[in-house]
Chain A
Amino acid sequence: MSAKGSPAASRRKGLTLTDVLVTVVVSLVLGVVYHVWASVSSIAGLLFIQSDELVYGMWFAASTLAFLLIRKPGVALIAEIAAAHLEIAFGSAYGIQLLLYSVLQGLAAELIFAAFRYRNTSAVVAGLAGVAAAAGSLLADIYYGYVTEYATWVIVLKYSLRAISSFVIAGWLMYGLAKLLERAGVTQSLRPVDRKEYDALDG
C-alpha cells in the first residue's frame, strides 16, 4: 500500500476496497446474528399483538454499526445492501424485495449521518439513524403491505414499537458494541485519519 504515493490525501477521500470489504464482512457477521434473531423475533411475537416489533431494530443494526466503526459516507448504505445480498446468495425467495427495502433503509440512515456531516458518532445520532431506517421501512411497507389499511391503533402501535426498538438496538446497543470493539483495538486502523494527526507526526 505504501507504493500508492501520498497516502494522506488519497486515502481520506471515498471508500477503499478495505473499507468496503470490512463493511460487507461486518454485515455478514450480523447476517449470522439475523438468523438467530429470526427465532428471537418469533418468540417475542407471542407476547401481545405486534410485539415482535420490540426486537425489530436489529434488522437495521448493520448500517449503524458499520458507520460507527468506519465513519465514512456510503458505509451505512453498503452495509444494508450487503445484508440483503447475503440472503440472495443463500437462496432466499425474498432476496429481491429485501434488496429494495435495504436500499431505502440504508439511504434513510445515511441521510441522518449526512445531516451531522459524518462527524457525530454519538449513541443518539446512531439511534436517530436507526429510527430513520425504520421510517424507510415504513415507506416500503405502505406499498408492499398496505399498512395504512390497518386499523389506526395497530399502525400507531406497530410503528412506535419499531421506532423505539430501532433507537435502542440499532442505536444504543450498536454504540456499546462499537465501544467494545474500540477497546479491543480493532478500530484504529479502520477510521479516516485527521489532518492534525499527520501534522502531529510532522511536528
Chain B
Amino acid sequence: MKRFFEPDRKTWLHRSNPALKLAVFVGLFVWTVLTHRIDASFYLACLFLLLLFFASGYPLWKTALLASGFALAFASASVTMILFGKGSEIWWSWGPVSISKESFYRGLHLGFRSIAFGCQGLLFVLTTTSTGLFYALMQRVRLSPKYAYSFMASIRLLPMALEELRIRRDALAVRGAGGKKGASRLLQMPELYALPLLAQSIRRAQRTAAAMEVKRFDAGRRRTYYYDSPVTKYDAGAFLVMLAAVLAAALLAQNLPIFELGDMRMNP
C-alpha cells in the first residue's frame, strides 16, 4: 500500500502547502458542483484528467490504473439518471424505465462531473500526505493540536485493528464457532466481530491518548512543530494553474461546444 502510493517525482503540487491546497481543491469542488452545462463539465473532465496525468508525479501506468476506476464512477453516476430521470422528449420507455433526451444528456453530464470530481480528488490525495496536511492545518489555520495529533495517531492504530480482525476470524474458525449459515450468521456479526474489535480499539485508544496527554500533545499555544509548513511560491503556482484550468474549460465550452445544450436541470 505504502509503496504503491509513493510518487516517482515531486511536482509543484507536492511542494505547495497542504492547507492552502485543500482550500483550493474545495473551491474547485464547489465550482464543479455549480457547473450545470454539459459542455463545461465535459471540458472540465478532460482538462483535469490531463492535469492528473501530468501533475501527480506518478508513472503513467499507475495513474492509468487509478483512473480506470472512473469508468465505474461514470456509469454509477449516470445510469440511474438516464433510466429514471425526468424529461419530456421520450426516446424509449418500458415499465418503470423511461429514457428521454433530457435525462440521457443529464446522465452524461453527471458522469462527466463525476470524472472531474474524481480527478480533482485523486490529484489532491496523490500529492498530499496525511501528516503534511495536519501539520499545515495546525500552523496555517490554527487547528487545535489535539485534533491533528488524534487523526495522525489513528492512522497508526489502523493496522493493529486489521491485524485483530484477522486473528479474530482465525480464532473463530479454529474454535469452530459461528457455524451458522445465512441470515442468522449476519445477526451474530456484531457480537462476534464488532464488539471485541471495538472494545480492544477503544481501550488501546485510551491508553495511547493518556500517554499523549502526558507528553502534552494537546498543548495549545506557544508550541513548536517538528515539520515546518510555510507558504511558498508553489502555492501561488498551484492556485494559478487550477484557476487557468477552470477558465480554460469555461472558454472552450463557450467557443467549441460539442453538445450545444443549455442548463441540464429542468427548472434551474
Nearest Cβ on chain B to A10's Cβ, whole angstroms: 12
Q: A97 to B103, alpha carbons, bound, how many Å?
A: 24
Q: A25 to B210, alpha carbons, bound, how many Å?
A: 14
Check if B194 is an interface residue, CB within 8 A of chain A.
Answer: yes
**How many residues on B have C-beta within 8 angstroms of the other chain's C-beta atoms?**
68
Contact between A150 and B70 (Cβ–Cβ < 8 Å)?
no
Q: A17-B217, A24-B150, A28-B157 are in contact. Are A181 and B190 (CB under 8 A)?
A: no
Chain A, Cβ-Cβ closest to B149: A17
Q: A151 to B88, alpha carbons, bound, how many Å?
A: 11
Chain A, Cβ-Cβ closest to B214: A1
Q: A20 to B73, alpha carbons, bound, how many Å?
A: 33
Check if A33 is an interface residue, CB within 8 A of chain B.
Answer: yes
Q: A28-B154, A93-B121, A96-B124 are in contact. Are A173 and B202 (CB under 8 A)?
A: no
Check if B253 is an interface residue, CB within 8 A of chain A.
Answer: no
Describe B's contact surface by its main secondary structure.
Answer: helix
Contact between A146 and B154 (Cβ–Cβ < 8 Å)?
no
Check if A39 is an interface residue, CB within 8 A of chain B.
Answer: no
Check if B206 is an interface residue, CB within 8 A of chain A.
Answer: yes
Among A31, A78, A89, contact of B147 (Cβ-Cβ < 8 Å): A78
Nearest Cβ on chain B to A158's Cβ, whole angstroms: 9
Check if A189 is an interface residue, CB within 8 A of chain B.
Answer: yes
Residues of B within 8 A of A114 (CB): none
30 chain-A/chain-B pairs, Cβ below 8 angstroms: A1-B213, A16-B218, A17-B149, A17-B217, A17-B218, A18-B205, A18-B209, A21-B150, A24-B154, A25-B161, A26-B202, A28-B158, A28-B201, A29-B194, A31-B158, A32-B197, A33-B194, A88-B124, A91-B66, A91-B125, A95-B125, A96-B117, A145-B77, A145-B81, A149-B106, A150-B81, A184-B195, A186-B198, A186-B202, A190-B202
- Chain A residues proximal to chain B, CB less than 8 Å: 1, 15-18, 20-26, 28-29, 31-33, 49, 69, 78, 82, 85-86, 88-97, 100, 143-146, 149-151, 153-154, 173, 176-177, 180-181, 184, 186, 189-190
